[in-house]
Structures are given as structure tokens and as C-alpha cells.
Structure 1
Amino acid sequence: MQPRRIARELALLSLSQLPSKPKKLEEQTPQTVMLTAIRALTGEVQDALEMASADLKRGNDLLRDSEFRAVDLKSSQAMVGDAIARTQTAINRLGSAVELPELMQLGDQQEVRDYTIQIVSTCNQYRQEVDELLEASLQDWQLTRLAKVDQNILRIAVVEMVYLALPDRVAINEAVELAKRYSAEEGHRFINGVLRRVTKQLPAAPQQS
């Protein structure tokens, strides 16, 4: 896997976990960047499993107390379905956490670290401008209402297009791949649509000096 693709994934996972102050951010080593991403992933795994367990318990309680009334049976089935989906998400996240150290070894660790830090620092520096551009492209939707992972996939793509000189098509394709890996089932289509609308506004977007 290309170092920048690994870096992009690490940036997505650790964007809200790494230090926001530039000096502290620059002190991060390849190992600390990777560990931060793994901790973020394992935290998501734990949260997903806890929610799945709660869904299963509620579904079981509803079945036990319902005497199999149709409405309660449907509600219980829905809860079990949610629990299965959350468990699958947890399994996928756990698989990603296991893969990260191997991926890091396959790439140039310093290059991976440097591009991860560049993405994160640029996201922090231009957060307001990036979010305004995204808000204008969401069409009657609010950025803060999106899942956190989708917000950050969009931010990273915009940062790469506007500030890091990545071609629009490449940035969108990379964002779609991240969404397929970390977003909800149809998330990649939503991400693709938003970013294509973003590209129509890029001439008016702020440029790095």
C-alpha cells in the first residue's frame, strides 16, 4: 500500500486524538501516530460491542415480556438486527486495528508519519475554512449532523484538494475508499456526491499562502 494511503487512514483515525498544538504534533513519532490510531479503533470496537450487548439485552427483555405480541416481536427483531450490525462493525474495526502495524511496516514509516502529521496539522489550521466549504456543499444538511467518521473523511479530502495539491479526482477516489472501509453501508456514495459538489466551488476556496 502506498505510504500516503496509509497516512490518510492514520490521519482519519487519529485526527481528533493527536495533539492540536503544532509543536506537540511535530513531536509525534511514527510509533506514537500508529498507537494513537490503534487506540482510537479499539475504543470504537469497545463502544460498538457495548451497544450491541445493550441491543441484545433489550431485545431479549422485550421478547420475554411481550407474550409474542406482533409489535413487540418486530421491535425485538429490529434490536437484534442492530446488534448484529454493530457486532459486524466491531469485527471490521478490530481487523483494521490488527492490520495497521503490518501496513506501517510495508511503507516508509517516516514518510507515512510526515504525511499523517501534514494532513492533521492542515486540518487543524484551516478547520473553519474547510467546514464552511463543506457546509455550502451539503445541500440542506449540516456537517455536525453527520457521523464523525464521515465529517473527517470529507475534511481530509478537502484539505488534500485545496491545500495539499492532490488532484480532485484522486482525492475523491481516496475518500470513497476510506468511506467503504470506515463509513456506513451507503456512506461512500454520500461522500462522493458531497465532494463532487465541493469541486464546483474550489475556484472560490481559500488558498494556502
Structure 2
Amino acid sequence: MALRKQPRSIARELALLSISQVKTKQGKLTTEDLDSLVLAAIRTLTIEVQDNLEAASGEIKRGEERLLNSETRASDLDSAKVMIQEALAVSQAAINRVGVAIEFPEFLQLTNKEQVRQYATELIVTVNDYRQEIEAEIENVLVGWQLSRLPKIDRDILRISVAEILYLQVPEKVAINESVELAKRYSDEDGFRFINGVLRRLSDRRKGIIEEPVVEVELETEISTPSEVESSS
């Protein structure tokens, strides 16, 4: 999560972590339901940061061990260099994890802002109330693929973006770029490229641009994320 992230970007992330936990039917979400969903999303992020710190601690320890081994076990200068490079790579991963944890207090403060929670709840309600219409729009631009076969996190990112484009008057370019950023954080390289392609095809179709069918990259396994704690959507 980037430092000083915009309020709506924070809201999208909270919505993404909440949508998979929605069990209430269309038009039935109460204020209490929404508050509980957002709170659960914040707790999920808190756990993730704690996990990152623990992983960082382990990586630092492994990096130190590799540095020591480079001095005592390396048979020559070249092997010592390799061990040192491995140690630095592990340490850099640890630093990145710590960086995420350092940013979290600011993120948490932003989640308590009214405009963040308001937009997060608006996204959750919109996706919940117009799910059939949103999914139909996505299905129309999938080529050789079915929405139900996508990783759940990718489906939810697509739903949020299409909800913004169709019902919340968010400019298509903004909605697409924000979805790609979410996918980079919660999916993988194939996932964010796939999502980018699907949304750009939807945008082109809405503009009346005809394009040749493109076969999507097959996503064989479902991506597991901290948000998938309750049930599949």
C-alpha cells in the first residue's frame, strides 16, 4: 500500500476485502452489516501487516546466516559473492515488508475518515445490488473464459471496476488503473494483465470500437489472499 494513498484508493481496497464476505441478498445490507464488513477488512489488513513483520524478521535472520556462511563456507571468491548477493536479496525483501508495516498507521487513520468509509460502503452496496448486471457486462467481454472460473480475487476486482464505470460515474481510465493497482497487490502478474485486458475490452465495446477476439491467458489456479477468510462469492 503506497504512503499517502488517495482516500478512494483506500476505499477500494476496503471494499475488495469486504465483498467476498457479503452474504446478504440484494438490497438487504444494513448499516450494521456494512460497518462489520469494513471493520473485518481493517482487521484482515492488520493481520497481514503482523505477518509481514514476522516474515521480515525471519528473512533478516536468514540473510545474516548467509553472510556468515559466505565467510566460513565459501570455497572461493565467486561463491562468496553469490552468498552475499543472496543475503542482500533476502534483506531487501525484509526491508520491503517493514516498509509496508510502517505505512500501516497512516492507512489505518485514513480508513476512519468518513469519505473513505462512505465510498467503501457505496462500492459494496453497488456491487451487491447490481451483481447480475455487472457480471453480465464482464461475461460479454471475456473471450474463451468464464467468470466463475477466475480466481475469486480477480472476479471481485473486476466487479468493483465495472460497478464504478456503470453506476458510480467514475472515468473509465481511472477505474481501470485503480483495478490494475489492486491486482498488482492482491493477484499476480498474469492476474493484473488479464484484468487490464478485460476492462480495456469492455471500455472499447462501450465506445463502439470493434476489435479482434483475443484469447485470455489461462489462469489455472485460484489466488489465495488474506481477504478470502469466510466464503467464496
Q: Deviations over 1:82-138 (max 9, x none)?
A: xxxxxx9xx97x997885553131466111111001000000111000001101111
SS in 2 for 1:20: coil
- The aligned runs of 1:40-51 (5 Å cut-off) are 40=44, 42=47
User: What is the TM-score normalised by the length of structure 2?
Assistant: 0.58
* 2:116 is aligned with 1:139: no
Which of 109, 112, 116 matches 1:112? 116
CA distance in 1, matches of 2:152, 2:179: 14
1:25 corresponds to which residue? 30
Alpha carbons of 1:104 and 1:186: their partners in 2 closer, same or farther (altered >3 Å)? Answer: same
Contact 2:147 2:155 in 1 (8 A): yes
Contact 1:153 1:175 in 2 (8 A): yes
CA distance in 2, matches of 1:26, 1:96: 30
Shifted more, 18-27 versus 179-188: the winner is: 18-27
Alpha carbons of 1:95 and 1:18: their partners in 2 closer, same or farther (altered >3 Å)? Answer: farther
Q: Greater helix percent: which structure? A: 1
Contact 1:168 1:199 in 2 (8 A): yes
Which of 184, 193, 196 matches 1:192? 196
- Measure how far apart 1:186 and its partner are: 2.2
2:62 corresponds to which residue? none
CA distance in 2, matches of 1:158, 1:166: 10
| Equivalent residue letter for 2:118 | D
* 2:122 is aligned with 1:126: no
Alpha carbons of 1:121 and 1:203: their partners in 2 closer, same or farther (altered >3 Å)? Answer: farther
SS in 2 for 1:166: coil
Aligned-residue Cα RMSD (Å) equals 3.2
| Equivalent residue letter for 1:148 | K
Q: Deviations over 1:170-208 (max 9, x none)?
A: 10000000000000232111110000111133369xxxx
Q: Structure 2: which 5+ residue stretches go unaligned?
A: 52-92, 209-233
CA distance in 2, matches of 1:193, 1:155: 14
Contact 1:10 1:37 in 2 (8 A): yes
**Higher RCO (CA < 8 A, seq sep 6+):** 2
CA distance in 1, matches of 2:28, 2:99: 32
Contact 2:15 2:38 in 1 (8 A): no
Say how many residue pairs are matched.
Answer: 158
| Equivalent residue letter for 1:170 | V
Q: Structure 1: which 5+ residue stretches go unaligned?
A: 47-87, 205-209
CA distance in 1, matches of 2:24, 2:34: 15
CA distance in 2, matches of 1:19, 1:95: 34
- The aligned runs of 1:53-132 (5 Å cut-off) are 102-106=106-110, 109-132=113-136
CA distance in 2, matches of 1:95, 1:156: 27
SS in 1 for 2:192: helix
| Equivalent residue letter for 2:30 | L
User: What is the TM-score normalised by the length of structure 1?
Assistant: 0.64
Contact 1:180 1:188 in 2 (8 A): yes
Structure possessing the higher radius of gyration over alpha carbons: 2
| Equivalent residue letter for 1:13 | L
CA distance in 1, matches of 2:111, 2:38: 13
1:181 corresponds to which residue? 185
